[in-house]
Amino acid sequence: MTAFAHPLIRAKKKLKVIYYGDPICSTCWVKEPYIRKLAVEYSDHIDIEHRMGGLLESIEAFQRKTQSVFKPEELKNLWDSTSQAAEMNMDGDIWLEQPIESSYPPSLAYYAAQKQGITKALTFLRILREMLFLKKKDISQEYVIKHAVKIAGLDIKWFMRDFYSPKIRSKFQRDLQDKEKWDVREFPTLIFVNDIGEWEKVESAADYPTWEKALVKVSRQPIQKQVATYSTSYLLSQVDFLASKEIAVILNKSVKQVEQELEALYLKGEVIKETYSHSIFWRKKDSNFSIIRRVNSKSKAIIIGGGMAGLTTAINLKKIGFKAKVFERRPPDGRRGLGFLMLKNGIDALNLMGLGNKIKKIGNPINYFMAFDLQQNVIAERDLNDFLALRRGDCIEMLTSELEEEDIAYNKNFSHFEYNEKGEAVGVHFKDDTAEYGDLIIGADGVRSQVRRTLYPEYELEPVGYKEIVCMVDLPELQDNIRDTFFKLQDEDLAMGLVPFGHGKYVWFLQFKTSKHALNSNDTELKREFVLNAIKHFPPTFKQVADLSDFSQAYFWDIRRMKMLPKFHKNGIILIGDAAHPLISLTSQGANSAIEDSVLLSHFLSEYQSVEKMKKCFATFTDFRYKTIDGYTKEGDALLEQFLGEHSTDEYKAPFTHADTNYIQAKFV
């Protein structure tokens, strides 16, 4: 959202609109299109002052005041039905899963954000609402507010000072007292005030024409409105993210008409579309890469492996026009894994696929990284932007739900290829003696890829000098203290990390040098004994975390690396994700780079019209990705050196690579 959304704030106008709302108020969200319309059409005449009305101090206070029992299921049903009717999506499940405790923290946050400028504060308020209504986040939690602060580009230290300042609290209290004076009983309530203090109040049920009538009444002279005449494309270039309904209301069009126009822009690769249960949201594409339908729909792609790379590629290839099918070795409920960190480059790639908000919905925001030595001195600290902790199973489920049932075949273990006379693969054989034939064959079968071994048997995975035990643990009592910080404790031969995954769940990992510690078994008791013994000198929290873990669920990870392949393709087969370039866990790039691969490959493929030409893009893809992957690998080497080296005096490096780099948005020339 830019200043465009609220141009009225720019200058002092004759009329003022006092808008009493609340960040968690569903009717305020539903009226969002109309408040924007008011701002656009009467920008020459009015200033809008947003005030927070204190809808929910706490659930207990609400029950006391209304003498009623708080019923989450009623709220859920209300949100679901209202959003459907209003075409502004709201996910009511939050009331069943994690009811919002209070609307006071996000209200105070809005006043604190105002200190950094009214436009930024309004952007921030919108982000908070999107987090609640679209991403199902409890915006009463401070760590969620901090995440929104970072997305809005506010200065976090400045914000936190104001968030806790008594002045901000008094400002909120004053507005709450004023609310009583105006007798505001529901939200949103708009009070139109003229320069001699005459006023007209309209309550939440009032429609837009009623607002206009109130405005005309207090203006005491004819008032000319400026109906928006610009195009949908221009509107989206000015405002970051809008629902079809918002665009339709602002531009005086029907939702159907707007969606037809935007669908045409979407097919040209100019906008990104995010589909929700009850509405579609749009954003202008700010990347040179597109996933556009251009391929002859008869072309068939065979994808070996249904992990992050395979599933995202199937989604993208279907979008560009392929018939794409995934062949996965495991059954549908096969091991789902634990979790990983989603960095900015992975989130940007998912944004381009129109899945940015869906991934944020299932991910837990991580705002900080902190590393300590054994004496608990801080050895590194870092602010993180656009960082999520994601359960792998949730991610696989979300991606699978974007595909049709027939797009994935399970229990299909790759065996070998069938080649034509030119030596190019045309078919894939599986261990159950079945075969599939297609125009495009993609190897996305992970770190121990059989496809890669078939193409490049001379390239082998080598031990790196450390191994890792990873486990998920339920620690609801820890979540009051550790909700959004990735902690790492660094000892000489060991490092232990703790990452919050939301809802009281944490993933911990213990990395150990194989030159100093020996564990070669996946046996539950041996893993437990090994970990508890290795960390017996660690601070109590880390020991407690291990103590409470179920080691039968702990994953023993024998980290391996491999020399870079000369190219990511051979014999007409393209490799992506871990199959193409295994990256060590210290880079945190496994899932992120796999999704980037998928988006970039799909972009290059979509530029070619025929299958013959398409294969040429494998070389383009390799050229483009090679430098990036080489960069991740080298940064991984430096992190490895830091861990394995005896006593590094260098500044401690955080365990992720290129966390702030955005390759998807990079200009490709």
Ligand X SMILES: Cc1cc2nc3c(=O)[nH]c(=O)nc-3n(C[C@H](O)[C@H](O)[C@H](O)COP(=O)(O)OP(=O)(O)OC[C@H]3O[C@@H](n4cnc5c(N)ncnc54)[C@H](O)[C@@H]3O)c2cc1C
What string of H, E and C letters represents the secondary structure of 84-137? HHHCCCCCCCHHHHCCCCCCHHHHHHHHHHHCCCHHHHHHHHHHHHHHHHCCCC
How is 522-551 classified by DSSP, letter by letter?
--HHHHHHHHHHHTTTS-HHHHHHHHT--G
Of 141 and 598, the one with the shorter C-beta distance to ligand X is 598
Q: Under the criterion CB under 6 A, does residue 338 sit at the interface with ligand X?
A: yes
Q: How far apart are CA 436 and CA 477, in angstroms?
A: 51
3-state secondary structure of 262: helix
Q: What's the closest the beta carbon of residue 155 comes to ligand X, in angstroms? A: 32
Q: How far apart are CA 143 and CA 100, in angstroms?
A: 14
Of 187 and 340, the one with the shorter C-beta distance to ligand X is 340
Of 29 and 369, the one with the shorter C-beta distance to ligand X is 369
Q: Under the criterion CB under 6 A, does residue 471 sit at the interface with ligand X?
A: no
323-327 and 280-284 strand pairing: unpaired
The helix (H) or strand (E) run that includes residue 345 is helix 344-352
Span of 4-12, 117-125, 307-315, 418-426 interacting with ligand X by CB under 6 A: 307-315
From candidates 21, 33, 305, 655, binder to ligand X by CB under 6 A: 305
Which residue minimizes CB distance to ligand X? 307
Q: What's the closest the beta carbon of residue 569 comes to ligand X, in angstroms? A: 15
Q: Specify the length of the chain in residues.
A: 669
Q: Under the criterion CB under 6 A, does residue 439 sit at the interface with ligand X?
A: no
Q: What's the closest the beta carbon of residue 337 comes to ligand X, in angstroms? A: 2
Q: How far apart are CA 570 and CA 117, in angstroms?
A: 55
Q: Under the criterion CB under 6 A, does residue 365 sit at the interface with ligand X?
A: no
Of 1 and 580, the one with the shorter C-beta distance to ligand X is 580
Q: Is residue 102 a contact partner of residue 58, using CB atoms and an 8 Å limit?
A: yes
Q: Under the criterion CB under 6 A, does residue 443 sit at the interface with ligand X?
A: no
Q: Which residues contact 39 (CB under 8 A, 6 or more apart)?
A: 5, 6, 7, 8, 48
Token pair for residue 120? 């930024």
**CB atoms closer than 10 angstroms to residue 468:** 18
From candidates 235, 304, 388, 654, binder to ligand X by CB under 6 A: 304
Token pair for residue 588? 């945190």
Of 432 and 525, the one with the shorter C-beta distance to ligand X is 432
Q: Under the criterion CB under 6 A, does residue 261 sit at the interface with ligand X?
A: no
Span of 45-53, 300-308, 344-352, 511-519 interacting with ligand X by CB under 6 A: 300-308
Q: Under the criterion CB under 6 A, does residue 269 sit at the interface with ligand X?
A: no
The type of residue at 474 is D
Q: Under the criterion CB under 6 A, does residue 347 sit at the interface with ligand X?
A: no
Span of 272-280, 473-481, 538-546, 575-583 interacting with ligand X by CB under 6 A: 575-583
Of 215 and 384, the one with the shorter C-beta distance to ligand X is 384
Q: Under the criterion CB under 6 A, does residue 317 sit at the interface with ligand X?
A: no
Q: Under the criterion CB under 6 A, does residue 328 sit at the interface with ligand X?
A: yes
Of 48 and 470, the one with the shorter C-beta distance to ligand X is 470
* Surface-to-core class of residue 527, CB atoms within 10 Å of its CB (0-12 exposed, 13-18 middle, 19+ buried): buried
Q: Is residue 143 a contact partner of residue 368, using CB atoms and an 8 Å limit?
A: no
Q: What's the closest the beta carbon of residue 390 comes to ligand X, in angstroms? A: 9
From candidates 298, 335, 516, 616, binder to ligand X by CB under 6 A: 335
Of 204 and 400, the one with the shorter C-beta distance to ligand X is 400
Q: Under the criterion CB under 6 A, does residue 446 sit at the interface with ligand X?
A: yes
Which residue, among 636, 343, 301, 223, has the nearest Cα to 465 in the 3D structure? 636
**Cross-strand pairs, 498:** 487, 508
Q: Under the criterion CB under 6 A, does residue 445 sit at the interface with ligand X?
A: yes
Of 184 and 447, the one with the shorter C-beta distance to ligand X is 447
Q: Under the criterion CB under 6 A, does residue 543 sit at the interface with ligand X?
A: no
Of 189 and 351, the one with the shorter C-beta distance to ligand X is 351
Q: How far apart are CA 574 and CA 408, in angstroms?
A: 19
Contacts (CB under 6 A) with ligand X, residues 387-426 = 392, 412-414
Of 413 and 485, the one with the shorter C-beta distance to ligand X is 413
Which residue, among 617, 509, 636, 496, has the nearest Cα to 568 in the 3D structure? 617
Of 280 and 338, the one with the shorter C-beta distance to ligand X is 338
Q: What's the closest the beta carbon of residue 304 comes to ligand X, in angstroms? A: 5
DSSP state, residue 172: H
The tally of CA atoms less than 13 A away on the side-chain side of residue 107 is 26
Token pair for residue 309? 């790379």
Of 339 and 572, the one with the shorter C-beta distance to ligand X is 339
Token pair for residue 2? 């830019």
What is the residue whose two structure tokens read 């911990």?
A: 508
**Cross-strand pairs, 488:** 371, 497
From candidates 339, 354, 497, 636, binder to ligand X by CB under 6 A: 339
Contacts (CB under 6 A) with ligand X, residues 577-616 = 577-579, 590-591, 594
Span of 89-97, 285-293, 335-343, 401-409 interacting with ligand X by CB under 6 A: 335-343
Q: What's the closest the beta carbon of residue 434 comes to ligand X, in angstroms? A: 12
Give Cα separations from 570 to 111, 417, 617, 668 (angstroms): 58, 12, 12, 24
Of 13 and 330, the one with the shorter C-beta distance to ligand X is 330
From candidates 327, 372, 604, 656, binder to ligand X by CB under 6 A: 327
Q: Under the criterion CB under 6 A, does residue 122 sit at the interface with ligand X?
A: no
What is the residue whose two structure tokens read 């995954």?
A: 501
Which residue, among 575, 561, 558, has the nearest Cα to 634 in the 3D structure? 561
**CB atoms closer than 10 angstroms to residue 302:** 24
From candidates 306, 365, 443, 655, binder to ligand X by CB under 6 A: 306
Q: Under the criterion CB under 6 A, does residue 308 sit at the interface with ligand X?
A: yes
The site for ligand X, by CB under 6 A, has a size of 31
Residues that bind ligand X (CB under 6 A): 304-310, 327-330, 335, 337-340, 392, 412-414, 444-446, 450, 470, 577-579, 590-591, 594
